[in-house]
Amino acid sequence: MTTISDFLAPDHQRCDNLFAVAEAAAAHGDWDNAAREFSLFHDALLHHFAMEEEVMFPAFEARTGMTQGPTSMMRSEHRQMTDLLNQMADAMARKDSNSFLGDADTLLIIMQQHNMKEEQMLYQMADQALAGELDEVVGRMRALT
């Protein structure tokens, strides 16, 4: 049986790695590579959000009845990060390294704090609350494309 923690925490690392490659390319002014790598990161992060918001959060909320707790905060942080992604995409299109890298710094801080809260609190709570249906929930997250 795969837990939510076992499934989603490595995806954080995958997104972080994609982010680092895109940021490094932009920092070196390699805009073609930066655009390609940023697109991969952008898509991976939005897919991660979708797995949580479309599958895991609703399952957790249905099981616990908590709709204004940690999942609400995580959704709010997802919106913040999505706004930054959009700003970064705009900076990328303009090849504005100062704006891109400034927003990247902000995004990195938010992602690190967000991931820590999910990995150390929410995922463990979800693993416990959804213990009887982990295979089904993880399977539905895997199925999202």
pLDDT digits (tens, 9 = 90+) for 36-68: 999 999 999 999 999 999 999 999 999 999 989
pLDDT band at 1 (very low <50, low <70, confident <90, very high): confident
Question: What b/e string do you get for 95-113 counting C-beta neighbours within 10 Å, with b at 16 or more?
Answer: eebeebeebbeebeeebee
Mean pLDDT of 61-85: 96
Q: What is d(CA 47, CA 88) in angstroms, rounded to the nearest whole number? A: 17
CATH superfamily of domain region 4-143: nmb1532 protein domain like (1.20.120.520)
Query: What's this model's pTM, rounded to 2 decimal places?
Result: 0.95
CB of 44 closer than 8 Å to CB of 15: yes
